[in-house]
């Protein structure tokens, strides 16, 4: 009999991990070799267990799923990486694919569909939840001209935070520098990304470098 596909689960909800383990363990094609409650724990476990497939949640405490994916892709592990999440947002889907995901599935899918998609992914096919194919299609059809090339809509505070992002500062450091809370920093970042039509703080930093700030004349 062909060797089973070794699967590593990374999700910070123990109850969900237990459910996925039970579902996948029923299928004779798979073997759950390990579970991790965080991205870093998953990275450490993978070095020892050498899984063929890694299932990772997007929204986890500490290192999120996207950063976990990027770090996995920087290793020499030869595995398939499948995002298993509750988010059907276009931005999350696109960011996951950019980060190197080999599949994007939703947690509310039918158990038999989960195993079928994972089996398909193991053959080298990129798998997407059926409901997300239209989301991806629309995203790809959006004209490039939709991107805003001006920061004129940003408030003074958002300009300050954009500058901080370009300097590689994290939320805590930005908060201390500007004398505001981490939560306020997050809100400002979310707003400036929306206004600039960008999807991540990294894109914002790159955008800032590529677009010279407007000179403000002193009165």
Question: What's the whole-number mean pLDDT along residues 19-38?
Answer: 94
Domains along the chain? 5-141 (3.40.50.2300), 145-210 (1.10.10.10)
Q: What is the pLDDT of residues 69-106, one digit of tens each?
A: 999 999 999 999 999 999 888 788 888 888 889 999 99
d(C-alpha 99, C-alpha 88), whole Å: 16
Strands (E) in the chain, as ranges, are 5-10, 30-36, 53-56, 80-85, 103-106, 127-128
Question: Which tens digit of pLDDT belongs to each residue from 163-214?
Answer: 898 888 888 899 999 999 988 998 899 888 888 888 788 788 878 877 754 4
Q: What is the mean pLDDT of residues 4-23?
A: 94
Q: Which positions ≥6 away from 44 have C-beta within 8 Å?
A: 36
Between 166 and 17, residue with greater pLDDT: 17
Question: For residues 113 and 158, is the Cβ–Cβ distance under 8 A?
Answer: no
Distance of CA 88 to the CA centre of its chain: 12
């Amino acid at each position: 009999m062909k060797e089973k596909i070794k699967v590593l689960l990374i999700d910070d909800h123990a109850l969900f991990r237990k459910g996925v383990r039970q579902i996948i363990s029923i299928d004779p094609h798979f073997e759950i070799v390990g579970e991790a409650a965080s991205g870093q724990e998953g990275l450490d476990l993978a070095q020892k267990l050498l899984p063929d497939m890694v299932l990772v949640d997007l929204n986890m405490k500490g290192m999120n799923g996207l950063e976990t994916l990027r770090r996995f892709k920087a290793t020499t592990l030869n595995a398939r990486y499948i995002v298993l999440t509750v988010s059907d947002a276009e931005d999350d889907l696109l960011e996951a694919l950019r980060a190197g995901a080999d599949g994007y599935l939703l947690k509310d899918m039918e158990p038999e569909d989960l195993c079928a998609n994972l089996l398909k992914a193991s053959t080298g096919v990129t798998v997407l939840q059926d409901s997300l194919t239209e989301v991806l299609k629309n995203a790809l059809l959006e004209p490039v001209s939709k991107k805003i090339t001006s920061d004129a809509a940003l408030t003074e505070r958002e300009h300050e935070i954009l500058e901080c992002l370009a300097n590689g500062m994290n939320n805590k450091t930005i908060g201390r520098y500007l004398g505001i809370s981490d939560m306020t920093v997050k809100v400002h970042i979310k707003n400036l990304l929306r206004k600039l039509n960008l999807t991540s703080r990294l894109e914002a930093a790159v955008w800032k470098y590529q677009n010279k700030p407007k000179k403000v004349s002193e009165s």
